[in-house]
Amino acid sequence: MISNPKVVFFDGIAEKWDGWEDLPALERKLAAGLDELDVRADETVLDVGCGTGNLTRALLAKLSPEGRVLAIDISSRMIEVARRKVADPRVSWHSEDARRLSFGAGTCDRIICYSVWPHFEERRAVAIELGRVLRPGGSLHVWHLIPRQRINEIHAGASEAISRDMLPPVEETAEMLASVGFRIATASESAGGYLVTAVKPER
């Protein structure tokens, strides 16, 4: 079997990842961002590309005992690190491809793609699959805490496995999500980050 270069890359950096972050500062930024996204306490949230679990942990701080996080990543090593760091029965961890999820239709109240969107090679297919597992009226967020230009610079200078993983302008992401049936609620980018919020229409 031929290895997926992205899986190999992210497996290889899993143990180093948190050492590259100012975790207390990131925790504060994620908490503030989740407040702005208006995450409710009892939601089931899909954390796509959960990595080492930093967003998952921030979500758990907002969720009640009834809330749930479904955390997925293509890297089983990233999930291993996350499991060690985040021990909470409200989380289930899954090593899955976002194009082919194991969850049933309408499973999630909200989906957050935090710092992962550039790495999807088939974004339209991912968007369709995320739409399938999102309940009607639920929100999908494509979210980054640093500017698009900086993200693209980082990727361009990284391993060949991700060097072409570019984040498109918000208008392009919004247009694609709209083309597969989402209603766009927010599309903004600035020095403070990047956010597209798309809502699955009520049927």
CATH assignment at residue 79: 3.40.50.150
- Condensed to tens digits (0 to 9), the pLDDT of residues 145-179 reads 999 999 999 999 999 999 999 999 999 999 999 99
Q: How far is CA 190 from CA 30, 54, 95, 144, 169, in A?
A: 17, 22, 32, 10, 11
- Mean pLDDT of all residues in 32-39: 96
Tell whether the model's pLDDT for residue 134 goes beyond 60. Answer: yes
Q: Which residue range forms the structural domain that includes residue 85?
A: 5-199
Give, to the nearest 10 degrees, the angle between helix 5-13 and helix 76-85. 30
Quote the pTM value. 0.97
Give the pLDDT of residue 7. 96
- The residues that bridge with 183 in the sheet, in sequence order, are 199
Residues paired with residue 17 on neighbouring β-strands, in sequence order: none
Number of folded domains that form the chain? 1
Mean pLDDT, range 86-113, rounded to an integer:
97
The predicted pLDDT at position 98 comes to: 97
Once rounded to an integer, what is the mean pLDDT over residues 14-32?
A: 96
pLDDT at residue 1 tops 60? no
| Per-residue confidence (pLDDT) for residue 150, from 0 to 100 | 97
Length of the chain: 203
**pLDDT of 203:** 75
pLDDT of residue 3: 76
